[in-house]
Amino acid sequence: MSSETLEFQAETRQLLQLMVHSIYSNKDIFLRELISNASDALDKLRLESLIDKDLEADTSDLHISLEVSAEDRTLTVRDNGIGMSRDEVVQLIGTIAKSGTAEMLRKMRESKDAAAKQELIGQFGVGFYSTFMVADKVTLVTRRAGEKGGTRWESAGEGTYEIEPVDDAPQGTSVTLHLKPEDTDDQLHDYAADRKIREIVKRYSDFIAWPIRLGDSDTPLNSMKALWARPRSEVSDEEYHEFYKHVSHDWTDPLETIHMKAEGTFEYEALLFIPSRAPFDLFMREGKRGVQLYVKRVFIMDDCEALTPQYLRFVKGVVDAHDLSLNISREILQQDRQIQVVRRRLVKKVLSTLTEMRESKEKYLGFWSEFGRALKEGLIDDADNRDALLDLLLLPSTASGELTSLRDYVSRMKEDQKDIYYMTGESRAMVEHSPHMEAFLAKGYEVLILTDPVDEVWVERITEFDGKQLQSIAKGQVDLGATETPAEQQEEFAPLLKWLGEKLQDDVKDVRLSSRLTTSAACIVGDEHDITPTLEKMYRAMGQ
Ligand code: ADP
Ligand code: MG
């Protein structure tokens, strides 16, 4: 087969456009992305060679090497890791598999403001494509470990790329950037200078566990220590943040870092992060979740779902467990008792970290607006931690425009108020203007306004908080104190109720006198156990 010219997938083309026109101000990070990919490739090869003894791969000196040529204006990042087959190159480099790409691009097009655009692309992260911020041509040569032939890929980052087989490619991948003129003439961006490269590696990639060598020198530029194995006091925030970006593929600093070490019968270290931004796919079914699993410094897998519950899918990081087998499968992990113990501890630790975060109101509000909806799912799934989760809730209410915790709600309850009142609905305005609200507002009772679809589900499970019942104002008989309708009224209205009941028999179960209303003549109430309209809609949307 000879050289072929292929087209990038439409989304990829649009992303490349954005990259080429460099809307991201910190160009240095392209090198971090390439080193991150090289490091992943070395991790994968080591694991594969440990599991598959027949793999014909050279693992004697796994490393990353950087070469610069001021004369040719090139920078090459090379690894002798797993490499890619031709199909993998087309799949992985020619297309963007990330869910939420279309959505991101749409937002990007709609946004006029350059800073907002930059933030979006930073949030999305563009990995390999970030090379086009500094290069007008990129050449990638790769050979998958164990395979004979290699592949050469080249693109100017416009609409197409060239791909062809090569016979003499070494194992692993090399990426050569043909640097744009402005990036070598300008002292600030001289990516063909040793000094600049040294500085960027030290800054962004020091923790990479493989040696990163520059030119002919054998002395690595990086210290190579696994960050999670170092004492907390010796690791700077910046190092934690760069490590976070490596494991999460996020471009933004994390909101919180959690470093844990457990000794005893089952030893492990964990370095977890709470991101400051929700990924686009947080609520998509195929969205990624889980942290990375290592066994004694050897990378085992990405997205290890067994280590964190679904509702904490936004937590990123690494768990290094010391006593697991290297070729443990995802299925076995789910059953593993030790993994279950670790998982319980991680959950407790994340929740206690969030509880502490509440002391800084602004920070916690930031967290809540990104991940609150995911956390609410825990009220449904995680009965063991229900109390901690209830204390972490922030909900809108009729009291003010601000969110309130349940505890604060309780502290504001009227003396004669027994229950915690809430109403679910599609929007704040709908709930506020509901006839159900009238009597509660008249009495000065605060009502929680629950408008997330997931609210409908958790309120079904949680019946009380702090000894107080959670009571929907739109369901059943709500006891508002002295509200019994007098007997004479019951009698007086009996014929009307009977008539209405007959007229509406196909639509309602019962017609009752009520003390709930002050100005409206009538309202519709759900039965204690009926599902609400929003929930009905949600189930329908989920195809149930
Ligand atoms: P991400 O790293 O977030 O997956 P990238 O754009 O950085 O996204 O890379 C896309 C994919 O291309 C990687 O997931 C990996 O499968 C493949 N890839 C990139 N660089 C290398 C490399 N040096 N060796 C092997 N595979 C690579
Ligand atoms: Mg990457």
Q: How far is CA 467 from the centre of its chain?
A: 34
- Atom index in ligand 1 nearest the CA of residue 126 equals 6
Ligand nearest the Cα of residue 98 is: 1
Pair of tokens at residue 156 = 């100017």
The pLDDT of residue 104 is: 81
3-class SS at 326?
A: coil
The pLDDT of residue 97 is: 72
pLDDT of residue 71 exceeding 70, the answer is: yes
Q: Judge whether 257 and 240 are in contact, CB under 8 Å.
A: yes
Residue nearest to atom 21 of ligand 1 (CA): 37
- Atom index in ligand 1 nearest the CA of residue 36 equals 2
Ligand 1 site, residue 37, Cβ cutoff 6 A: yes
Any bridge partners for residue 444, and if so which?
none
The pLDDT of residue 292 is: 95
Please tell me which residue, 97 or 483, carries the higher pLDDT value.
97
Residue nearest to atom 23 of ligand 1 (CA): 38
Ligand 1 site, residue 279, Cβ cutoff 6 A: no
Q: How far is CA 267 from the centre of its chain?
A: 27
pLDDT digits (tens, 9 = 90+) for 400-433: 999 999 999 999 999 999 999 999 999 999 999 9
pLDDT of residue 321 exceeding 50, the answer is: yes
The beta-carbon contacts of 168-171 under 8 Å, at least 24 apart in sequence, are 169/141, 169/142, 169/143, 170/80, 170/143, 171/57, 171/58, 171/80, 171/81, 171/83, 171/143, 171/145
pLDDT of residue 364 exceeding 90, the answer is: yes
Gap from CA of 85 to ligand 2 centroid (Å): 17
Ligand 1 site, residue 309, Cβ cutoff 6 A: no
Q: How far is CA 510 from the centre of its chain?
A: 46
The pLDDT of residue 543 is: 46
Instruction: Return the HEC string of 163-193.
Output: EEEECCCCCEEEEEEEECCHHHHCHHHCCCC
pLDDT digits (tens, 9 = 90+) for 244-277: 999 998 889 999 999 999 988 889 999 999 999 9
Q: How far is CA 431 from the centre of its chain?
A: 30
pLDDT digits (tens, 9 = 90+) for 503-544: 887 777 777 777 666 666 777 766 655 555 555 665 555 544
Average pLDDT of every residue of the chain: 89
Pair of tokens at residue 131 = 């090379």
Pair of tokens at residue 28 = 């240095």
Ligand nearest the Cα of residue 125 is: 1
pLDDT digits (tens, 9 = 90+) for 129-179: 999 999 999 999 999 999 999 999 999 998 899 999 999 999 999 999 999
Dihedral sign, Cα of residue 126, residue 131, residue 133, residue 136: negative
β-pairing verdict for 212-214 and 268-275 = unpaired
pLDDT bucket at 231, cuts 50 / 70 / 90 = very high
Gap from CA of 397 to ligand 2 centroid (Å): 43
What's the rounded mean pLDDT across residues 3-17? 89
Interface pTM (ipTM) of the complex?
0.99
pLDDT bucket at 393, cuts 50 / 70 / 90 = very high
pLDDT of residue 285 exceeding 90, the answer is: no
Ligand 1 site, residue 293, Cβ cutoff 6 A: no
Q: Judge whether 178 and 73 are in contact, CB under 8 Å.
A: yes
What's the rounded mean pLDDT across residues 492-498? 81
Of all residues in the chain, the percent with pLDDT exceeding 70 is 91
Ligand 1 site, residue 84, Cβ cutoff 6 A: yes
End-to-end CA distance of the chain: 50
Rg over CA atoms, the chain: 29
pLDDT bucket at 498, cuts 50 / 70 / 90 = confident
In what helix (H) or strand (E) does residue 403 lie, and over which residues does it extend? Answer: strand 400-404
Alpha-carbon span 15 to 21, nearest angstrom: 10
The pLDDT of residue 511 is: 78
pLDDT of residue 102 exceeding 50, the answer is: yes
pLDDT bucket at 484, cuts 50 / 70 / 90 = low
From 80, 92, 143, the mutation candidate for ligand 1 (largest count of ligand atoms within 8 A of CB) is 92
Gap from CA of 477 to ligand 2 centroid (Å): 57
Ligand 1 site, residue 128, Cβ cutoff 6 A: yes
Please classify residue 9 by burial: count the beta carbons closer than 10 Å to its beta carbon, then call 0-12 exposed, 13-18 middle and 19+ buried: middle
Of all residues in the chain, the percent with pLDDT exceeding 90 is 64
Gap from CA of 249 to ligand 2 centroid (Å): 6
Ligand 1 site, residue 38, Cβ cutoff 6 A: yes
The pLDDT of residue 68 is: 96
Alpha-carbon span 43 to 318, nearest angstrom: 14
Gap from CA of 288 to ligand 2 centroid (Å): 15
The pLDDT of residue 488 is: 75
pLDDT bucket at 482, cuts 50 / 70 / 90 = very low
Q: CA 460 → CA 5, 380, 391, 411, 457, distances in Å?
A: 57, 9, 17, 23, 5
Ligand nearest the Cα of residue 87 is: 1
Contacts of 165 (CB under 8 A, 6+ apart): 1, 86, 149, 150, 151, 152
Ligand nearest the Cα of residue 130 is: 1
Ligand 1 site, residue 82, Cβ cutoff 6 A: yes
pLDDT bucket at 491, cuts 50 / 70 / 90 = confident
